[in-house]
Amino acid sequence: MNEQNIENRFEFLKGDKVLWMVILMISIFSIFPVYSASSNLEYIVNNGTTTGHVMKHMFFVVLGLAIMRLVGTVKYEYMGKLSSIMLGLMIVLLIVTMFTGQTIDGASASRWLKIPGTPISFQPSSFAFLMLIIYLCRYLTKKITRERLPIENVMYIFGPILLVFVLVAKDNGSTALMILMVSVIVLVIGQLHWKYIAGFISASFIAIALFLLIALNTNMIGGNRVHTWMSRIETFTSSKAKSADVDDESIKAKNYQVMQAKAAIVHGGITGMGPGKSALKQMLPQSASDFIFAVIVEEYGLIGAGFLICMYLIMIVRIVMIASKMPAFFGSLLVLSLGVMIFIQLAVNIAVAVNLIPVTGQPLPLISYGGTSMLVTYIQLGIILNISSRIQIYDEEGMGKKQSIVEINDIA
């Protein structure tokens, strides 16, 4: 009886227990660097108080964990069936954002949509990205038993991807490129014929080239950030090349964010300066969000940063293991696709901090200060945990919680 009570108590953590523990550890840890780095918002940006920001972050952590657990109670097959409707709704919100979008916390892009009658704002692009990937996974599963006509691929696969890309690209180029990248990976994993994937990649390059050409040479796409992207790429390549004909001072001025991030990483050394003792967080723009990894390295050193990266690696490994054990194709494809989304976002954030790629606005999953991206990550992990709870579990004593093949089989 006692053993049954213990099992029921742990059943609250529905799904993969190791993944649950990693998520909880990262979520709790996130409070400390956000509390430290948010002092930049109070004293430099003059926005709110450090206590207010950390309380807001803790609220989103608790809300995210609650949403993650709630997602675990809904059959993931239903999410697939509703994805086309939800994707259509997100596309409408993206169009509305193009005309009525707002900026927050000093950002230069109008990516946020305010809920009427409330002070709450969110980024539709993050939710549109998630809904698009779920939709693609479901469609690829639904049509896997037969050869699709070319017109079907254009209308139901390539069309939605390019539509979301175009709507997001105007104000959020890095997210738009990630949408294309992850979508192509999903198509590969989803076993779409290589000739269609090659054609889509070619069409995407043409679409991007046309978008850049129109944005740089005309006023047809008002308020775009193409010049900002080009400036960042030019600054990145110039700083790497260190050519003699380039003004070093101008490079330093344009590359200020990355220079401060690199200085913070070097300052942290092996063991770090200690929690809350970052000396460069006040000079590092977006220290609580886009560049929070640099603050973590400065305060906790390479040891602390290495431990955090190990936690992320355990998360990715568990996601791959869940996907490999899931017999239903839709479940396996969806887990891998969501894992790819999380991994690319993680890799991009760290790569920017260590100056491997040009500056982008991608947050560190479960760590960076902010609402929309954090909640979307918790939803992704909630879906993965949901699917993991549907796997036949084997242990040393034999079969664990048994499910029939009908319960496990995908109904997409």
pLDDT digits 0-9 by tens, 56-109: 999 999 999 999 999 988 888 888 889 999 999 999 998 888 877 666 554 545
Q: Is the CB of residue 191 less than 8 Å from the CB of residue 147?
A: no
Q: Closest Cα partner for 67 from 389, 388, 382?
A: 382
Q: Closest Cα partner for 360 from 376, 371, 373?
A: 373
120-126 long-range CB contacts below 8 Å, 24 or more apart? 122/371, 122/372, 123/172, 123/372, 123/373, 124/90, 124/93, 124/94, 124/96, 124/97, 125/94, 125/97, 125/168, 125/171, 125/172, 125/175, 126/175, 126/372, 126/373, 126/376
pLDDT higher than 60, residue 254: no
Mean pLDDT of the 143-151 span: 70
Single-letter code of the amino acid located at 298:
E
Mean pLDDT of the 111-130 span: 79
Q: Looking at the chain, how many residues does it have?
A: 412
Q: Is the CB of residue 57 less than 8 Å from the CB of residue 371?
A: no
Better-predicted residue by pLDDT, 298 or 401 = 298
* Reported pTM: 0.86
